[in-house]
Structure 1
Amino acid sequence: MDKQLEKPPRGFGATLLAVAWSFIGLRRRSDFERDVGALRPAYVLAGALIAAACFVGLLLAAVRLATS
């Protein structure tokens, strides 16, 4: 593949932001296409696990608050 066409890898913070937008379903197609080759799979997995853990934590806190 041509070196000019390759996208530079994005950092962990940028990956977390992309995962957060994708997690809530507000992702523009242009952003998705820009990220397809630039996101590192390990960062995406770590970001998804962090986002899922935060989501579960928020749900547990909401239930605890509602039942107390």
Structure 2
Amino acid sequence: MSLDAKTENPPQAGFFTIVSAVFWSFLGIRRRQDYESDAASISLKQVVVAGIIGGIIFVVGVVVLVKVILANIGTTA
């Protein structure tokens, strides 16, 4: 392995690649090939930030869904 190969930075993942990786990880469905390509291009900091934001969006979504359901109980004809 040459010195150039060690100092070469892997390509950085885009926004949608990070969101997709975190989404599929939440579901627990990942192909080995996708995992390996994501691991090479996504940094730990990106995964942590995307995971926290994804978790917050999930919790807020569940709370809103429960409030809508509870508000509509008994209002149906």
Residue 34 of structure 2 aligns to which amino acid in structure 1?
A: D
Specify every segment of 5 or more residues in structure 1 that has no aligned partner in the other structure, as ranges.
none
What count of residue pairs does the alignment treat as equivalent?
68
Work out which of the residue numbers 42, 53, 57 in structure 2 matches 1:54: 57
Identity of aligned residues (%): 31
SS of corresponding position for 1:27: coil
Runs of 4 or more above 3 Å deviation: 4-7
Q: Quick check: 26-35 or 6-15, which moved more?
A: 6-15
More helix per residue: 2
Residue 13 of structure 1 aligns to which amino acid in structure 2?
A: F
Paired position in structure 2 for 1:42: 45
Which structure would you say has the larger Rg? 2
Alignment TM-score, normalising by the size of structure 1: 0.79
Work out which of the residue numbers 5, 11, 18 in structure 1 matches 2:21: 18
Specify every segment of 5 or more residues in structure 2 that has no aligned partner in the other structure, as ranges.
72-77
Paired position in structure 2 for 1:66: 69
Residue 39 of structure 2 aligns to which amino acid in structure 1?
A: V
Alignment TM-score, normalising by the size of structure 2: 0.71
CA distance in 1, matches of 2:66, 2:58: 12
CA distance in 2, matches of 1:63, 1:27: 29
Q: Deviation at 1:60?
A: 0.1
Q: Deviation at 1:6?
A: 6.3
